[in-house]
A and B are shown apart, each in its own frame.
Chain A
Amino acid sequence: MGKVVYIFGNDISTDAIYPGRYMATVLPTETPQFCFADYTELNKKLNSKEYPVGSVLIGGNNFGCGSSREQAASTILGHGIVVIAKDYARIFLQNAINLGLNLITCPDIEADLDDEVEVVGDKVVNKTKGKEFSTIPLPAARMVIVEAGGLVAYTRKKVIAKYAK
């Protein structure tokens, strides 16, 4: 369970999540410091660990649109925060899956700042409002990548099988 710490509108681009000027920093261990760097307050609080693991960011439609930069997924992953959005842009969603970042798709989500929110099974429960919202699960083809622990682990198995032949 976590508290809602930020609410975004629609079409939040990967430029907003991880501004281009930090793209020379590529390693997943180094990207978290620039998470939402242009949202100065949010970035400061993330970096000072003011938000505990499991804190929630709420997004609208088309979250993660634009550039394919994978840093936009690794930067969020590094903070252990949960993203619940109405839907996601394709490449960002795939990058998140590949890195093992579990994005929650919840088309009807209602939440305000500081609401206590929990993901239970295929529902998002907003405890503060006493309401439940259905989530859309990942397609099976993507779920197997998450279950393998991300694409590196999934590919590794395939590579071993390929060269064992």
Chain B
Amino acid sequence: MGMTIVEKILARATGNKSVKPGDVLEPAVDVAMSHENAALVINQFDEVFKGTGIEPKIWDPSKIAIIFDHRVPAESSKTATNQKKIRNFVKKFGITKFHDIRSDRGGICHQILAENGYVKPGDVVVGTDSHTTTHGAFGAFAFGIGATEMASVWSLGTVLNVEVPETIKVVVNGKLRDNVYPKDLILYIIGKLSAKGANFKVIEFHGEAIRNMPMSGRLVLSNMSVEAGATAGIIPGDEETELYLRVEGVHNSITPVLPDEDAKYCQVLEIDANAFEPQIACPHTVDNVKPISEVKDVKVDQIVIGSCTNGRLDDLEIAAEILKGKKVAEDTRMLIFPASWEIYKMAMHQGLLNTFTEAGAIIMNPGCGCCLGIHQGAIGDGEVALSTTNRNFKGRMGNPKGDVYLCSPAVAAMSAVTGFITAPTKGVN
């Protein structure tokens, strides 16, 4: 019987000819990523070896990536101490894919993995972050795990007792409308599937709109697949994947893993890319998605552009085009977090940062903090945030008495100018 992409990857990673949903496997890991929660992983890793008489040993330090991004620079002595503990561990065990708080290699973990070419088609990638799904954009099987599970991976190099998931095939036909972006597409899909619609399953993305989408957009789709509950969101590798990885300096051979023609899917969802306008995820669940024309008279106190979802160069370019020569509305504040320092510097060279500061926006340093309400950019009681980030749960942006709406960078920039949630209009400039 034919296999889906995840089935093929898991067959390869376990040395099997074929696997099927429900099989219990122990796949070998190609990339194991953590951020500041490596502090807890280290704790659990030490626990594993405790009392065994065996010197703690990492299976392969070259396959571990650790990136500081959640609270950078540290907001408290506690975080700083955790970061110090991780640095010492990195040195002791010779972990090379380490990205400290530095403007020459830092940024948000998922962007760092992408722009350093750490993930290739067919890889098994685990990360102690739910948005590890991002790397499915490279045709890898990438999924989030907890800290104790990561300690197990560090010890053994495999993930224990993985059940092969079923796959939902999402086919996106046609072309997105003007002013409609990959973020709108994934919000639309999450609205259709619901927040638990893909729980324990993998989404495979196919269709003309996906094949014509640059990597930056594919990363958005895979990134937010987890908001429909998906274990992973995989996009078949193609010329675009290879081109992206070559530009990022990958010299090794790149072989896309493609599904068999007779692969078995538990569900097929066909989407007409031209059928919808910009989408908004309204408070307080990501599947509470509405077309922007139905979201009326929402005044916005804080606009945020950034995160592992939408802080890439093209996101900033789209925002800058809208903001050029304009001002952020008087009663609104705007925060921009480039997803990495690489992007920050490119935006600086292109003059985008000038456009933002002339408009009155604040340029923040790359990091996750604002998205999950742990480091800068908290909202006040009764305030409304409109954000290009990935979650709008109650309390997410640091305050359970505030509302978070999610949108594309174009909607965020347009709304910054008007002060209300506003659809972008081409030609408005």
Question: When the two chains form their complex, are residues A11 and B285 in contact, meaning their CB atoms are under 8 A apart?
Answer: yes
From B268-276, B336-344, B387-395, the one touching the partner chain is B387-395
Question: Knowing A144-B161, A145-B161 touch, does A23 contact B70 (C-beta < 8 A)?
Answer: yes
- Cβ-neighbour of A163 out of B51, B54, B163 (below 8 A): B54
- Shortest CB-to-CB span from A161 to chain B, Å, is 10
Cα(A16)–Cα(B147), bound, Å: 19
- Shortest CB-to-CB span from A150 to chain B, Å, is 8
Cα(A102)–Cα(B400), bound, Å: 28
How many residues does chain A have at the interface if contact means C-beta atoms less than 8 Å apart? 47
Question: When the two chains form their complex, are residues B163 and A62 in contact, meaning their CB atoms are under 8 A apart?
Answer: no
Question: When the two chains form their complex, are residues A68 and B395 in contact, meaning their CB atoms are under 8 A apart?
Answer: no
- Which residues of A are found within 8 Å of B70, using beta-carbon distances? 23
- Sorting the interface of chain B by its residue count into under 10, 10 to 19, 20 to 34 or 35 or more gives 35 or more
Question: When the two chains form their complex, are residues A141 and B163 in contact, meaning their CB atoms are under 8 A apart?
Answer: yes
**B330 beta carbon closer than 8 Å to chain A:** no
- Shortest CB-to-CB span from B307 to chain A, Å, is 13
CB-based nearest B residue for A21: B374
Which applies to chain A's interface (DSSP): helix, strand, loop or mixed? helix
**B130 beta carbon closer than 8 Å to chain A:** yes
CB-based nearest B residue for A139: B163
- Cβ-neighbour of A98 out of B52, B149, B196, B285 (below 8 A): B149
- Which residues of A are found within 8 Å of B24, using beta-carbon distances? 139-141
Question: Knowing A23-B374, A68-B146, A155-B156 touch, does A141 contact B161 (C-beta < 8 A)?
Answer: yes
Question: Knowing A62-B199, A91-B130, A156-B52 touch, does A162 contact B156 (C-beta < 8 A)?
Answer: yes
- Shortest CB-to-CB span from B201 to chain A, Å, is 9
- Shortest CB-to-CB span from B192 to chain A, Å, is 16
**A44 beta carbon closer than 8 Å to chain B:** no
Produce 1/0 per residue, A113-150, CB < 8 A to B. Answer: 00000000000000000000000000111101100001
Question: When the two chains form their complex, are residues B196 and A62 in contact, meaning their CB atoms are under 8 A apart?
Answer: yes
Cα(A154)–Cα(B160), bound, Å: 9
- Which residues of A are found within 8 Å of B147, using beta-carbon distances? 26, 70
- Which residues of B are found within 8 Å of A139, using beta-carbon distances? 24, 163
Produce 1/0 per residue, B265-306, CB < 8 A to A. Answer: 000000000000000000001010000000000000000000
From B74-82, B114-122, B316-324, B413-421, the one touching the partner chain is B74-82
Cα(A65)–Cα(B43), bound, Å: 24
- Which residues of A are found within 8 Å of B79, using beta-carbon distances? 24
Question: When the two chains form their complex, are residues B48 and A152 in contact, meaning their CB atoms are under 8 A apart?
Answer: yes
- Shortest CB-to-CB span from B261 to chain A, Å, is 29
Cα(A81)–Cα(B313), bound, Å: 46
Question: Knowing A24-B78, A160-B54 touch, does A155 contact B160 (C-beta < 8 A)?
Answer: yes
**A33 beta carbon closer than 8 Å to chain B:** no
**A94 beta carbon closer than 8 Å to chain B:** yes
Question: When the two chains form their complex, are residues A155 and B48 in contact, meaning their CB atoms are under 8 A apart?
Answer: yes
Question: When the two chains form their complex, are residues A15 and B160 in contact, meaning their CB atoms are under 8 A apart?
Answer: no
Question: When the two chains form their complex, are residues A70 and B130 in contact, meaning their CB atoms are under 8 A apart?
Answer: no
CB-based nearest B residue for A91: B144
CB-based nearest A residue for B158: A158
- Shortest CB-to-CB span from A43 to chain B, Å, is 12
CB-based nearest A residue for B200: A90
Question: Knowing A25-B78, A26-B40, A144-B161 touch, does A151 contact B152 (C-beta < 8 A)?
Answer: yes
**B145 beta carbon closer than 8 Å to chain A:** yes
**A20 beta carbon closer than 8 Å to chain B:** yes
- Shortest CB-to-CB span from B336 to chain A, Å, is 20
Question: When the two chains form their complex, are residues B393 and A15 in contact, meaning their CB atoms are under 8 A apart?
Answer: yes
- Shortest CB-to-CB span from A24 to chain B, Å, is 4
List 7 A–B pairs whose Cβ atoms lie within 8 Å, in order of A's numbering.
A15-B395, A16-B395, A67-B129, A69-B37, A73-B146, A158-B160, A159-B52
A positions within 8 Å CB-CB of B: 11, 13, 15-16, 19-21, 23-27, 38, 61-62, 65-70, 73, 87, 89-91, 94-95, 98-99, 139-142, 144-145, 150-152, 154-156, 158-160, 162-163
In the complex, besides A67-B391, A140-B24, A159-B54, 16 extra interface pairs with C-beta distance below 8 angstroms are: A15-B395, A19-B395, A24-B36, A24-B71, A24-B374, A26-B39, A66-B391, A67-B372, A68-B145, A70-B146, A94-B149, A95-B146, A95-B148, A144-B161, A151-B151, A159-B48
